[in-house]
Amino acid sequence: MKIRVATRGSKLSLAQTNIALNEIKKVAEDVEFEIVIVRTKGDIHQDKPFTAIGGKGLFEKEVNLAVLEGRADIAVHSLKDVPSQVTPGLVLGMTPPRDSPFDVLVSRNGAKTIWDLPSGAVIGTSSARRTAMLKHARRDLVFKPLRGNVDTRLEKLRKGLYDAIIVAEAALQRLSINIEYWRIPPEILPPAPSQGIIGVYTVSKRLDLLDVLEKATHRETMIVARAERAFLSKAGGGCHVPLGGYAWIEGNKLKLYAAVASLDGSKRVDVVLEGSPEHPESLGVLAALELRDKAEKAGIEIRSM
């Protein structure tokens, strides 16, 4: 069996693709892969903010198009980059085991936590979620845009353009980058929904592929992915909204923690719910509804940001 795999060409994208393909090989030893590199608008315009070139779905649409047009059989994504409403005709067929969902602080001068940074320290991030949540914790920090791949971001930090930067721990893990960092607790910075999860998509009619992908799927990761994507879909907002949330399984319970903040970080509300792993979407929807209700009472408008 030969599977053509659409993916971006960055080091991180290829590392994520290899993780997914290795899981598929465990259940289909005779499979062969052909990598189809797709260069997206987000890869070409790395000097511009996400919001200026498309926002959510920036890295997803063109990769998925290769599958829809028949140039590839599956598409591999960092699931947090995929909008809650995926391209029609495609389905999430597989998730490998989740890596860390959390964000980390990487400091130029050895700060061990966000509280060790001096007043006025410059933090590099282009994420509305990261900026607003950290502003809520420390109003005296300065936030400046930061784009590029992980190596580029770390190089900008080393050159002194920032005092610290925020990156996903999963990215450092997947690239085997061994540096000192502080994992930011979700009570300070809740992860983006589906952060740390790799998603493999194919067309809904490919029952042969879906059977293989289902066998290769890590069940617990798929459960939390379904909960978090349902939460994101119901909560609304997109990449412009400082919204975070993640789910995990504890014993026989599925739990979900989420938060949203105002853009300036002055207001924030949090929710924690639990439900059944058998009904992850239900928990995601309930968490979104409760968070939106609390946000409205606090004067935080999710959809219009």
Pairing mode, strands 74-78 and 32-37? unpaired
Copy the structure tokens of residue 100: 């860390």
The residue with tokens 């609304």 is: 236
Phi, psi (degrees; rounded to nearest 5) at 246: -150, 155
Given the residues 30, 43, 81, 99, the one annotated as active site? 81
215 with 160: CB under 8 angstroms? no
Active site residue 81: yes
The span from the CA of 146 to the CA of 148, in Å, is: 7
Tell me the C-alpha distance between 275 and 112, whole Å.
Answer: 35
CB-CB contact of 202 with 63 (8 Å): no
Structure tokens that stand for 241 in this block: 């909204």
Alpha helices in the chain (DSSP H): 11-27, 41-44, 61-68, 128-137, 150-158, 169-174, 207-216, 219-235, 280-298
Quick check: 262 and 268 in contact, CB under 8 A? yes
The closest of 120, 103, 124, 122 to 49, measured between CA atoms, is 124
Which residues are catalytically annotated?
A: 81
